[in-house]
Chains A and B, each alone.
Chain A
Amino acid sequence: MARDSSTFVVISPWGKRLLAAFFVIFLVVLYLPTVLLIIFSFNNGTVAAFPLEGLTTKYYGLAFQSEEIRKALSASFWVGLGAAFFATLIALMASYPLARRNVRGKALISALMLVPLVVPTVVLGVALLILFQRGPGQIGLGLMRIMLAHIVIAIPFAVLILLPRIASIDRRLEEAAYDLGASGLQTFRFVMLPLIVPSIVSAFLISFVFSIDEVVIASFLSSEQVTYPVYLYSGLKFPEKTQTLIPVATIMIVISFALAFGAEAIRRYGDRRLVGK
């Protein structure tokens, strides 16, 4: 009853119905493209257009026979895994002193760390292209370089997940550990780590999802072997190639939904556990 009356304060019953209708339409439009992709992945035509020409799963078969697609997928997977691993590790190392210690120039470091989020990816892409092509050593392009670039952009995401969590942990838990004679490393291993594992997993998954979806920088830095988004991007420009691309795309969408919900579920589990303390 109390809830009803307070809802009444912010909105009239008719307004609420109107908003609910708006919300439903919003959700339909939001998910319409995804649903369409799934439908078209079973379309028995050569182009992704209406009307549908019957249902088939043959494109799924074709997609997985394609050497190109398999190579691109595995390239993306390893790049994503590497980028997520290093970004999470580096972010974890950096978050701890930023949350807990007196760091000189903390504001500057935080600003530097977050700026990659606002720098247009096309600018960062060409800047890295210039560096790798014409910088010291002229190390050239390739998958390893894409991974390095993804680490830079994934770090801020990982820090934004890890830092608030570390800062929210009661300092006295660590102090108790020190008082009982634990070393810094032991304290981290036995006190801090168990509390932040969910955030670490969440940061890892978000970095991974970011990397396997990133196309701008990857397209600038890829050489012979491309990552999956770059493969997809070059394929999408040609309508006749698209039908074979959609099945894998559909699977990727389902996987990223699963990862997104998984990361969030784990983060919430961590929240609950922390509040439970």
Chain B
Amino acid sequence: MATIAETPTPPAPKRRRSRRETRNDGGSAVSTYGLLAPMLIVLGILFLAPLYYIFLFSVGLKRFSPTDALASLNGELNAFSTELWTKLISVDVTVLIPGLNFDVPVLVVGIVFVVLLITAVTAGRIPEYGSWIVGVAFVLLLAPFLTFPAGNNLLRLVEFSSEGQYMRLFFKSVSMAMTSSVVAVLIAIPVAYFLAFCVGKSKYTWLLIVIAPFLTSYLLRVFAWKVILGDQGLINSGLTTIGLIDEPLTFLIYSQFTVIIVLTYAWVPFICLPIFLSFETIDRRLLEAAMDLGATRMQAFRKISLPIIAPGIVAAFLFVFIPSIGEYITPTLVGGTQGTMYGQSLANQFVGGAFNWQFGSVMSLFLLGIVLLLTFTTSRFLRAGGGGL
């Protein structure tokens, strides 16, 4: 049936091209740009203009108010100065020198972050080498997660006394975002594999069932985790009832651990889709051929499936990672003091206690720059994985 429907299609491209040249589809240039105009105007006014204002604020060309008492108090709301940028991106040297104030996860994640960026840029040119780097990076990324029980002390990020607090906070956010995106990908792969290969005809229905929670209220799902992980929550009361513990496990709620769990939970349904779609593109006959030629299933997976799904997996990772860096709601609700993230500190400059719009704008530009850099260097993967979105 499908073949019959498709048979007359081949001559179409040729005609299409000639039509396009003569623009004979009833549309003039005026109507073309007229139809695009509303979107461009909306994006110009409500997207580009706000970002431009952030820029104006960051360099001191615009101010919250000329007579702002708070601003004149801390003397930072004047003309452009590099001071605010220095304040933001300065790094506490003790972090970098082992032995002085060795902060393993922050350091590791910082290095991995740079490596990943470089890899993303060069992956197209040196595929073999690049995939190994990504692999090693992923393993390293799990380090902060694995050291978690001791991590309360390892990540001494609550002491906001020294210089470089903002960079520490930023890399901590990056670390938390990375951990949750890696875990989310590791969970989504078997789920997508199962859906793609083992479920049969009903797989799209199951896929919808997996994705549906993503479309329900994010706030409520975060809140529900409070009910599960809280001091009187499902886990703590359950463990107390069966007598395993006397006191509630306090690290379950209001900690980095909670933020990572909740972020992972929130994004897993969403990334099952791109990974599922990349599994769908695998031609099973390739796998059959490989096994006929004596490959084991693992070898077939490693040599055939993995290279095909790799872009989808990288895309899935980025789909979680990019929005998680600037996460604001989750750490506010379940992070407590230990699980704070960069986005909170940023928002705090505008609506919270810090109240320094100029510095907040500098923080926004920094975050925006990092996110856009990540997006454009990896747009190849995003496009590959976003085909089904």
> Which residues does chain B contribute within 8 Å of A240, judged by CB atoms?
none
Size category of the A interface is 35 or more
Determine which of B23, B219, B367 lies in contact with A120 in the assembled complex, contact meaning CB atoms within 8 Å: B367
Interchain residue pairs with CB less than 8 A apart (10): A33-B220, A36-B227, A37-B220, A50-B232, A94-B38, A134-B53, A134-B62, A152-B43, A171-B12, A215-B329
Q: For the complex, is A44 an interface residue (Cβ under 8 Å from B)?
A: no
Task: Flag if A33 contacts B237 (CB, 8 Å).
Answer: no
Task: Flag if A122 contacts B215 (CB, 8 Å).
Answer: no
Additional A-B contact list (10), CB under 8 Å, known A33-B220, A120-B367, A236-B223 = A7-B198, A30-B210, A30-B268, A97-B35, A101-B25, A118-B372, A121-B328, A122-B346, A172-B15, A229-B219
Task: Flag if B224 contacts A184 (CB, 8 Å).
Answer: no
- A109→B37 CA distance, assembly (Å): 11
A120 CB to closest chain B CB (Å) equals 3
Determine which of A37, A98, A148, A233 lies in contact with B36 in the assembled complex, contact meaning CB atoms within 8 Å: A98
Which one of B78-86, B124-132, B146-154, B187-195 is at the A interface? B187-195
- A219→B350 CA distance, assembly (Å): 12
> Which residues does chain B contribute within 8 Å of A128, judged by CB atoms?
46, 50
- A158→B360 CA distance, assembly (Å): 31
Task: Flag if B323 contacts A93 (CB, 8 Å).
Answer: no
- For residue B200, which residue of chain A has the nearest CB? A3
Q: For the complex, is B325 an interface residue (Cβ under 8 Å from A)?
A: yes
Q: For the complex, is A180 an interface residue (Cβ under 8 Å from B)?
A: no
Which one of A21-29, A62-70, A193-201 is at the B interface? A21-29
- For residue B387, which residue of chain A has the nearest CB? A164
- A237→B223 CA distance, assembly (Å): 10
Chain A 68-109 interface mask (CB, 8 Å, partner B; 1/0): 000000000000000000000111011011101111000001
If A152-B47, A233-B329 touch, does A175 touch B25 (CB 8 Å cutoff)? yes
A209 CB to closest chain B CB (Å) equals 6
Contact residues of B between 165 and 194, Cβ < 8 Å to A: 187, 190-191, 193-194
B304 CB to closest chain A CB (Å) equals 10
- The interface residues of chain A, by DSSP majority, are classed as helix
Contact residues of B between 27 and 63, Cβ < 8 Å to A: 27, 31-33, 35-36, 38-40, 42-43, 46-51, 53-54, 57, 62-63
Which one of B95-103, B104-112, B134-142, B284-292 is at the A interface? B284-292
A23 CB to closest chain B CB (Å) equals 5
Task: Flag if B39 contacts A257 (CB, 8 Å).
Answer: no
Chain A 149-177 interface mask (CB, 8 Å, partner B; 1/0): 10110010000100000000011101100
- A186→B40 CA distance, assembly (Å): 25
If A130-B361, A183-B26 touch, does A50 touch B39 (CB 8 Å cutoff)? no
Interface residues of chain B, those whose CB is within 8 Å of chain A, are 2, 5, 12, 15-16, 19-20, 23-27, 31-33, 35-36, 38-40, 42-43, 46-51, 53-54, 57, 62-64, 187, 190-191, 193-195, 197-198, 200, 208-210, 212-213, 215-221, 223-228, 230-234, 237-238, 265, 268-269, 284, 287-288, 291, 297, 300, 322-323, 325-326, 328-329, 332-333, 343, 346-347, 350-351, 357, 360-361, 364, 367-368, 371-372, 375, 389
If A121-B326, A121-B328, A122-B328 touch, does A26 touch B42 (CB 8 Å cutoff)? no
> Which residues does chain A contribute within 8 Å of B287, judged by CB atoms?
9-10
> Which residues does chain B contribute within 8 Å of A223, judged by CB atoms?
none
> Which residues does chain B contribute within 8 Å of A261, judged by CB atoms?
208, 212
A52 CB to closest chain B CB (Å) equals 10
Q: For the complex, is A51 an interface residue (Cβ under 8 Å from B)?
A: yes
Task: Flag if B53 contacts A7 (CB, 8 Å).
Answer: no
Task: Flag if A264 contacts B194 (CB, 8 Å).
Answer: no
A158 CB to closest chain B CB (Å) equals 10
> Which residues does chain A contribute within 8 Å of B20, judged by CB atoms?
101-102
- For residue A149, which residue of chain B has the nearest CB? B46
Task: Flag if A119 contacts B198 (CB, 8 Å).
Answer: no
Task: Flag if B326 contacts A120 (CB, 8 Å).
Answer: yes
> Which residues does chain A contribute within 8 Å of B191, judged by CB atoms?
22-23, 26
Task: Flag if B26 contacts A178 (CB, 8 Å).
Answer: yes
If A123-B364, A131-B53 touch, does A97 touch B27 (CB 8 Å cutoff)? yes
Task: Flag if B329 contacts A257 (CB, 8 Å).
Answer: no
B14 CB to closest chain A CB (Å) equals 12
Task: Flag if A148 contacts B46 (CB, 8 Å).
Answer: yes
- For residue A263, which residue of chain B has the nearest CB? B215
Name the 4 nearest CB pairs between A and B, nearest first.
Answer: A120-B326, A33-B224, A49-B232, A127-B50
B253 CB to closest chain A CB (Å) equals 11
B2 CB to closest chain A CB (Å) equals 8
If A155-B42, A232-B220, A256-B217 touch, does A122 touch B50 (CB 8 Å cutoff)? no
- For residue B237, which residue of chain A has the nearest CB? A50
- A24→B349 CA distance, assembly (Å): 44
B242 CB to closest chain A CB (Å) equals 13
> Which residues does chain A contribute within 8 Å of B297, judged by CB atoms?
9-12, 15
Task: Flag if B346 contacts A19 (CB, 8 Å).
Answer: no
Q: For the complex, is A55 an interface residue (Cβ under 8 Å from B)?
A: no
- A171→B8 CA distance, assembly (Å): 13
Task: Flag if B216 contacts A22 (CB, 8 Å).
Answer: no
Q: For the complex, is A16 an interface residue (Cβ under 8 Å from B)?
A: yes
> Which residues does chain B contribute within 8 Å of A29, judged by CB atoms?
265
- A137→B208 CA distance, assembly (Å): 46
> Which residues does chain A contribute within 8 Å of B23, judged by CB atoms?
101-102
- For residue B288, which residue of chain A has the nearest CB? A9
Task: Flag if A229 contacts B217 (CB, 8 Å).
Answer: yes
> Which residues does chain A contribute within 8 Å of B364, judged by CB atoms?
122-123, 126-127
Of A11, A119, A128, A216, most B-chain CB atoms within 10 Å: A119
